[in-house]
Structure 1
Amino acid sequence: MLKTKKAKIALFSGLGLAAVGLIAYALLWGGGNTSTDMPATGEGQLYYRVASEGSIASSTLLAGTVEAAEEQYIYYDPTKGDIAEFKVKVGDQVGVGQALIQYNTAELQSNLNMAIRARDKIGRQIYDLQTNGQTVDLTGDPTQDESSMATAQRSVESQLRDLNDSYADAQATVDKAQAALNEATVVSDVAGTVVEVNTSVSKSSTSSQTLIHIVNQGSLQIVGNLSEYDLANLSVDQEVKLTSKVYPDQTWSGKITYISNYPEGNGGGEGVPGSTGGASSKYPFKIALTSDIGPLKQGFSVNIEVVNAKKSILVPVEAVLSDGDKQHVWTIVDGKAKRVEVTLGNADATQQEISSGLTAGDHVISNPSMDLEDGKEVKAIEEEANPIK
């Protein structure tokens, strides 16, 4: 029995020595770091962010469709008669002024020739009257002969005026006939690729019939509609970023080139990003691509983010605290906490605009604790700021 008691005493003594050793080890290796790694507030590690100037993410998101910026549709014109020839086929590359379609010109050429003959006939009459004038029979009586010559001169001048008017009318008829003949040859207004040729047209159809469609594949634009809510926040020349679900890893840049002042039509706001529901007018807009087109194709749907160019002082949204109707942040000045009232601007998911109260370079505590006090010493670690957009 005595032997067992001694064994128990020895065991307890060994455990006591081990505990003392662990405590000593902790004091030796851990005690030197408490003053620098732990904050003075006692509520966990504080971090601060250097206030910097930048832009928050845009809150204006739109949708649009990729279309050709330069294209031409040629429609059948029954007033020009029968089509004699299609001068291009699908896939052809055409330049500005290149002939595309030739209407039958037989009748038009005949009309032009007839108009030219009528004009030239009047021209010969004018020449004859100016050259030969009018014959006057003289009587030998100076007074009577002078009167006869004056009357003849007035008659010649009157006839010339009438003939000149007739010549001008005849020239107008020639010009009209020549224009009709010229229009019988339809030419391209844009340089591009022929993507459609329709040789089967109905002369009796009352609807528009496309004969040829030309597209400049290297000149694309984005078109869409703005709601009245977005219209107030956007303007021509604002920059945008474009993304496509087809190529989610790529982005394109562009610039707003046109915003209509007149609504395309009234209706609900469904499908119009940025609208809050209810009736909303739609205003057409256009965007020009300022980056390489890459794999974008006509007909692609794209998402549009309007780039926010406004620069403001930015802090983490978590750094801003509210006290009633006022907001403040905690800054660090000479190692001590300082409460600063601020005026807020807009915000995105991570950053808050500060309109007044801070300047670039201020050290703002990004995770303020409840026990911060003005003038209280604090220790905080700087964290990396979000990249400035």
Structure 2
Amino acid sequence: METAKRIREENEQVHTSRKKKWILLGILVILFISVILSIAVIEVKKSKSKPLVLINPTEKNFTKTKTLSGRVVQSHAETIYLNATKGSIQEIFVKEGETVTKGQKLFSYEGSTVAAELGQAEVNKKLAETSDTQMKEQITSLEQDIREAESTNTTETTNTTETTNTTETTNTTDTTNTTDTTNTTDAVDNANIATKAITILSLKAELNKANAELRAAELKVEKYTLQAEKLKAELETLTVISNTAGVISNLNQNVGQGFRAKDNQQLAIMQIASNDPFQVEGKLTEAEKAKIASGQSSIVTSKVQANMKWKGKISEVSDYPTYKTTANKDKDTQQETIPYYSFKASLDSQKGLYPGFYTTVEVVVQSKQLLAVPETSIMGLGKSTYVYVQKKGKIQKQKVETGQKRGKWVAILKGLKEEDKLEENPSWIVRLGTSLFD
């Protein structure tokens, strides 16, 4: 009896509880409907009071981008190698991390033998130049002596002839005396002429010899000049200079004074990282390479400098792949090799970036001009999107296909033309068919 009573009481409690839940649910539904109706009424009032603002679709540039990973690197690095044929290191003029200019001395090889040979060549050149000068002075003197000798001989011959003619004219009565005098004079003149001729021949012989010696001296001057220039050039090559401005890096600590590389050994002594603007380099998959090309614009970001962006463009895309073998735990399965293509991107600015930073590169792979409308003009969700347009003086619903979004603008792929007019910011409740001339 008591058990039946208890069961009856429990059933009544359950029924009461369910009744309360249904009452509460009904109240909530009524409240929800009231809110919706209130909003609808408000929107209707707004739609009646708010003037319609009609706009035309406008063309906007929409881009598609591809995200790549990269790393900041120096744009160029020159590696300096030792030359075993030039001997041992004499002195290193730079230090790790030092900034150098183009043409600055980096290090030198020992060149004592070349320096000694150059000194001897310069001495020989000086001696040859002295001999050349002496020969020229001697030739000048000999040429002067020859001119004087030839001038004296001509004068004496003329004087003798005049004396003979005068004697013959004046002393025509004394034939015997005149003849004796003439014979004596002729003998003396002939002796003088012969002596002068011998002297002139001797001077000319000396002149010819001096000219020959001058040519030999000039050849020696030329020989030792060329030899000295060659040794100077060789001595200059013993001092290695920088071909670019940059920062010294990877200075080989095992190379110092007296060190000499072995024959046929390619040993780097240092690198010079160029001061040119940094670049971003990375790798592309086959699919990425098909979309990435030189000249495409890019935006570079870095987690290290989260609030900064760097503009640039793709400067280089390799056509020759490097291959990476994928790890495969199954020994019986052949490992797969994946091709990768390197790329480089230049930067308009490098402020805040440093070599080694990992970056994200957003590359513009496509850029198009498309019709666009403000986002506020688009109604609906997903594939069921529409706008309110003016047709024959009345507001009508027009289905559209949307594309990319750019800020407040949405690209329209289908459904609108440039000459169409649509409502800029429609209300939730629009009175379709409303005449714009009411």
For normalisation by structure 1, the TM-score amounts to 0.57
Matched, 1:336 2:399: no
* Cα distance, 1:302–1:335 mapped onto 2, change above 3 Å: farther
Instruction: Quote the Cα distance in structure 1 between the aligned partners of 2:268 and 2:418.
Output: 62
How much has 1:264 moved relative to structure 2?
Answer: 5.6
Query: SS of 2:309's equivalent?
Result: strand
Partners of 1:105 and 1:359 lie apart in 2 by: 81
Question: Could you say which residue in structure 1 is the equivalent of 2:190?
Answer: none
Give 2:132's aligned residue: 126
Judged with a 3 Å threshold, the aligned counterparts in structure 2 of structure 1 residues 193 and 229 are, in CA distance, closer, same or farther, namely closer
CA distance in 1, matches of 2:325, 2:423: 42
Structure 1 residue aligned with 2:235: 181
> C-alpha offsets along residues 359-382 of structure 1, whole Å, 9 cap, x if unaligned?
499648999xxxxxxxx6389xxx
Structure 1 residues 123-146: Cα deviation after superposition (integer angstroms, max 9, x where no partner): 33433343323969997898xx79
Conserved? CA contact 2:60–2:372, under 8 Å:
no
Evaluate the alpha carbon distance shift between residue 365 and residue 216 of structure 1 in structure 2; reply closer, same or farther with a 3 A threshold: same
Q: Match for residue 303 of structure 1?
A: 360
Provide the C-alpha distance between the structure 2 equivalents of 1:90 and 1:116, rounded to a whole number of angstroms.
39
Structure 2 residue identity aligned to 1:312: Q
Matched, 1:265 2:297: no
Q: Give the Å deviation of 1:329.
A: 8.3
Retained in 2: the 8 A contact 1:55–1:308? no
The 8 Å contact of residues 283 and 340 in structure 2, kept in 1 or not, is answered as no
Q: Is the 1:74–1:210 contact (alpha carbons within 8 Å) kept by the matching residues of 2?
A: yes
- 1:55 and 1:309 in contact (8 A); partners too: no
Secondary structure of 1:197's counterpart equals: coil
Compared with structure 1, are the counterparts of its residues 210 and 30 closer, same or farther at alpha carbon in structure 2 (3 Å cutoff)? closer
Q: CA deviation at 1:82?
A: 0.9
TM superposition score normalised by structure 2: 0.52
Could you tell me how far 1:221 is from its partner in structure 2?
1.9
Matches within 5 A, 1:46-57: 51-57=57-63
Q: C-alpha distance in 1, partners of 2:361/2:297?
A: 10
Aligned pair in 2 of structure 1 residues 257, 35: CA closer, same or farther (>3 Å)?
closer
User: 2:269 is matched with which residue?
Assistant: 211
* Cα pair 2:69 2:360 within 8 Å, conserved: yes
Structure 1 residues 286 and 167, CA, compared in 2 at 3 Å: closer, same or farther? Answer: farther
- Partner residue, 1:382: none
Q: Given that residues 277 and 349 in structure 2 are in contact (C-alpha distance below 8 angstroms), is that contact kept between their aligned partners in structure 1?
A: no
Mark the CA change 1:27 to 1:366 in structure 2 (over 3 Å): closer, same or farther.
closer
The number of residue pairs the alignment matches comes to: 319
Deviation at 1:259, TM superposition (A): 3.4
Task: Judge conservation of contact 1:56–1:308 (CA < 8 Å) in 2.
Answer: no
Q: State the alpha-carbon separation in 2 of the partners of residues 140 and 338 from structure 1.
A: 136
Aligned to 1:67: 73
- Cα deviation, 1:48-74, whole Å, max 9, x if unaligned, reads 997444333333444443211354433
Tell me the secondary structure at the aligned position of residue 133 of structure 1.
helix
Q: CA deviation at 1:229?
A: 7.7
1:339 Cα deviation after fit = 6.4
Paired position in structure 1 for 2:300: 242
Which ranges in structure 2 are unaligned for 5 or more consecutive residues? 1-22, 48-53, 150-193, 327-336, 379-384, 427-431
SS at match of 1:178: helix
Residues in 2 aligned to 1:279 and 1:253: alpha-carbon distance in whole angstroms: 31
Is 1:194 aligned with 2:248? Answer: yes
CA separation in 2, counterparts of 1:94 and 1:63? 32
SS at match of 1:302: strand
Note closer, same or farther for the CA distance 1:119–1:181 as it changes in structure 2 (3 Å cut): same
| Secondary structure, counterpart of 2:345 in structure 1 | strand
1:290 match: 348
Residue 108 of structure 1 corresponds to 114
Residue 77 of structure 1 aligns to which amino acid in structure 2?
N
Q: Which sections of structure 1, spanning at least 5 residues, go unmatched?
A: 1-14, 39-47, 272-277, 320-327, 368-375, 380-389
C-alpha separation in 1, matches of 2:40 and 2:104: 88
> CA deviation digits over 1:289-332, x for unaligned, max 9?
223431x332334332224794623438998xxxxxxxx98662
- Corresponding residue for residue 309 of structure 2: 252
Are 2:87 and 1:81 aligned? Answer: yes
SS in 2 for 1:110: helix
Question: Which residue of structure 2 aligns with residue 322 of structure 1?
Answer: none
Answer whether contact 1:51 1:313 (CA < 8 A) is retained: no
Report the more deviating stretch, 297-306 or 221-230.
221-230
Identify, as 1 or 2, the structure richer in helix. Answer: 2
Structure 1 or 2, whichever has the larger Rg, is 2
**1:329–1:365 Cα contact (<8 Å) kept:** no
Distance change (3 Å), C-alpha of 1:161 and 1:188: same
> CA separation in 1, counterparts of 2:287 and 2:218?
60
SS at match of 1:102: strand
Query: Which residue number corresponds to residue 433 of structure 2?
Result: 377
Task: Describe the SS at the equivalent of 1:179.
Answer: helix
